[in-house]
Amino acid sequence: MVSIDLTAIRCPLALVKVKLALKQLEDGEVLSVSLSDIGSRQDVPRFLKKVGYRYSEVCNDENMLTIKISNLR
């Protein structure tokens, strides 16, 4: 599993970093992403749904969203 902490980064840069990380994943690999910016917390899941990535929320509270993204689309 690859993990990236983007809690210090705001959208749209966080979304760009997620896209770049997804391009580097091997088949079957999982990417864990932590986000705190409200825009990123909305935009990243919206993007993942749009392009067909499977993901699950690990943590979603008032401070942070952590999701695991599967490279199986």
So which residues are the catalytic ones? Answer: 11
Radius of gyration for the chain, computed over Cα atoms and rounded to the nearest angstrom: 11
Angstrom distance (rounded) from CA 21 to CA 23 = 5
Please tell me what DSSP assigns to residue 1: -
